[in-house]
Amino acid sequence: MAAIARRFGFAISVVLVNWLLVVLERKSYTDNQDGVVSISDALYYTTVTLTTTGYGDITPVSTSARLVNALVVTPMRLVFVVVLVGTTIQALTERSREEFRLVRWRSRMKNHVVVLGYGTKGRNAARALLLKGYAPESIVVVDASAQALSAATTAGFVAVAGPATSQRVLEEALCDRASVVIVALGRDDTAVLTTLAVRRLAPHVTIVAAAREAENAELLEQSGATSVIVSSETAGRLLGLATDSPQTVGVVQDLLSFGHGLDLTDREVRPDELGRSATELGEPVLAVLRDGQTLHYNDPAAAHLAAGDRLVHATSVSPSTAEPDES
């Protein structure tokens, strides 16, 4: 847009300079209507001369006026045409380049993460993905806000404009090829509709959705969400806990703040840990993930770790390796 604006400004400058020349020499021109060339007639003659070969209704009659037309106006006419043609070619080239980039991106993108909604929840989800090692180009952000999309592209993410409930937009974000779709929208009803649309388009994708109210979590699960995070219930639980044990809340918030202090992470059971209990390991194991089930650390079934189990445990991130917080 800036380049086109500069070209447009240059074209206007050419018109103004040519108009000034004709105004200064207008006594050397004749008008077929009344014989007199006014300032407005000079502007008309300038625009007609620069954009066409003229209509013949206003013509230079003196030698000086004809020399000005031959030596000055004609080169200006050529420059004007070059500016117009160059702008058109540039616009078409940029459009072709963008279409080629999209085609290339579509052919390569798969197993990516789609973040539907780039508000507070969506931004923090994307930030957590980056801290976990995801490449920015493997994260696709969908939002209807131009400001949100600008922030997403600045962060290095792929941005798709449009409402998350639109099947066309979901197809453009390649949800059917994604490994995970994060539904981080501001309204629960919109989140339910979006989850239904995503599940219909991609039956096997993992869908993680956020809900404001606990009563809507079941609707999201019935709509196809694999996991639902209830923000109001989580906040209420922490508020209640803070009345008696504010320091405990600080520990929980530290666990939820990815990238510094205490972090929650998971890993696969190592061969030397098979058959052992989760409580015997040298790290604080909170749960064992087995065949789609979550076993607490003190569950009798977690007393003997098996191949394929994943351990959810707390770990400490040193300040020297932690990512800096956003301001």
**What CATH number labels 2-106?**
1.10.287
pLDDT in tens, the chain (327 residues): 666 667 667 777 777 887 787 778 777 777 776 677 778 777 766 766 666 655 565 555 555 665 565 556 656 666 666 676 767 776 666 666 656 666 667 778 889 999 999 998 999 899 889 888 899 989 999 999 999 999 998 998 989 999 999 999 999 999 999 999 999 998 999 999 999 999 999 999 999 999 988 889 999 999 999 999 888 777 777 778 778 788 887 777 777 666 667 777 888 999 988 888 888 887 888 899 998 888 888 888 888 899 999 998 888 765 544 444 443
The pLDDT value recorded for residue 61 is: 54
Architecture of the domain whose range is 109-234 = 3-Layer(aba) Sandwich (3.40)
The pLDDT value recorded for residue 41 is: 73
The pLDDT value recorded for residue 66 is: 52
Structure tokens at 275: 């058959």
pTM of the model: 0.58
What are the start-end ranges of the H helices in 69-216? 74-108, 120-131, 146-154, 167-172, 188-201
Domains 109-234 and 259-317 share a fold: no
Structure tokens at 75: 């080169």
The pLDDT value recorded for residue 327 is: 33
The pLDDT value recorded for residue 32 is: 72
Domain ranges of the chain: 2-106, 109-234, 259-317
Q: CA 22 → CA 52, 67, 82, 83, distances in Å?
A: 16, 12, 22, 21
Is it true that domain 259-317 has CATH number 1.10.3720.10? no
Number of continuous H segments (helices) and E segments (strands) in the chain:
11, 12
